[in-house]
Structure 1
Amino acid sequence: MIYWQHLTRQANEAHTREAYVDAQELGRKALACAEATFKDDFEVDAETAVSAVIVSYMNLAEVSVSMKEWLQANDYFERGVQFLQSIIVKPELPTEHRELIELTASHLRFEWELFTQTYGSKLAVAKRTNRLRWLKQRNDDSSSWQSSYGY
């Protein structure tokens, strides 16, 4: 957990300096660290373990917003919710842990909704652009395949 805290502090400092690429890289390392130790950390201190992962996702979403990477920011919120869902479905989860997950999920969904309300039009444009790019790539790949086989 100490290494996660160190990485998170560095990522936040980079974000403050507007060194977004550095903040993103450090944030990803912090997330990987929190996820790698999650199972053991959760058994010792569930609240701290859950917080570390979700704070990492939220920090990465915030950096993505600063970089105007709307799809990436949205993806981090979605991945955070999926992470929490993967924990709460465990049948042996104690009630106090289940309540912690529900409260954290509620907060994360609130932040995601705030993001969507604030940047929804930009996110919609990014989704359309991404879809058009995908269709063009698919069409180009199809044309390439057809010309390779004489169609």
Structure 2
Amino acid sequence: MIYWQHLTRQANEAQSRAAFVDAHELNQKALACAKATFPSDFDNDAESAVSAVIVSYLNLAEVSVSMKEWSQADGYFSQGVSFLEQVINAPNLPSDDRTLIDRTASHIRFEWDLFKQTYGSKVEAGKRLGNFALATSAMG
């Protein structure tokens, strides 16, 4: 968890300097770190373990917005929700942990809805452009 905190702090500093590529890379490393230690961290402190992963996804979405990578940001929200769905479906999950995950999922869905309200048309435009590029390359 200490390494995750270090990476997250560095990513936040990079973002505040508008070094978005560095911030994105550091946030990806932080996410990988949080996910790698998740099972043992979850057993020791479920709230901190879940928070580390979800904060990493939200930070990645935020830096993607700063880079105007709307579809990428949308994908990070989606991945965060999918992660929580996997965790909540674990067998023998204690009810306190289930409540924590439900609360966290509600929060990330709320943030995702705000993102879609603000940038939804840009996400859709990017998808249309991506589909057009795929169709064009398939024709050539």
TM-score calculated relative to the size of structure 2: 0.98
Query: Which stretch shows the higher mean deviation, 127-136 or 108-117?
Result: 127-136
Runs of 4+ in 1 over 6 A off after TM superposition: none
Structure 2 matches for 1:2-151, cutoff 5 A?
A: 2-140=2-140
Query: Quick one: higher RCO (CA 8 Å, sep 6+), 1 or 2?
Result: 2
1:135 positional shift: 1.2
1:139 positional shift: 2.0
1:93 positional shift: 0.2
Task: Give the percent of matched residue pairs that are identical in Structure 1 and Structure 2.
Answer: 64
Task: Give the Cα separation in 1 of the matches to 2:131 and 2:48.
Answer: 38
Listed as ranges, the gaps of 5+ residues in structure 2 are none
Q: Which amino acid aligns with 1:14?
A: A
Listed as ranges, the gaps of 5+ residues in structure 1 are 141-151
Q: State the structure with more CA Rg.
A: 1
Task: Give the Cα separation in 2 of the matches to 1:99 and 1:6.
Answer: 28
Task: Give the Cα separation in 1 of the matches to 2:76 and 2:28.
Answer: 11
Task: Give the Cα separation in 2 of the matches to 1:39 and 1:91.
Answer: 13
After superposition, the C-alpha distances for 1:87-131 in whole angstroms (9 at most, x for unaligned) are 111130000000000000000000000000001111111110111
Residue 15 of structure 1 aligns to a residue in which SS? helix
Task: Give the Cα separation in 1 of the matches to 2:11 and 2:137.
Answer: 34
Query: Which stretch shows the higher mean deviation, 39-48 or 127-136?
Result: 127-136
In the alignment of these two chains, the number of paired residues is: 140
Task: Give the Cα separation in 1 of the matches to 2:134 and 2:4.
Answer: 36
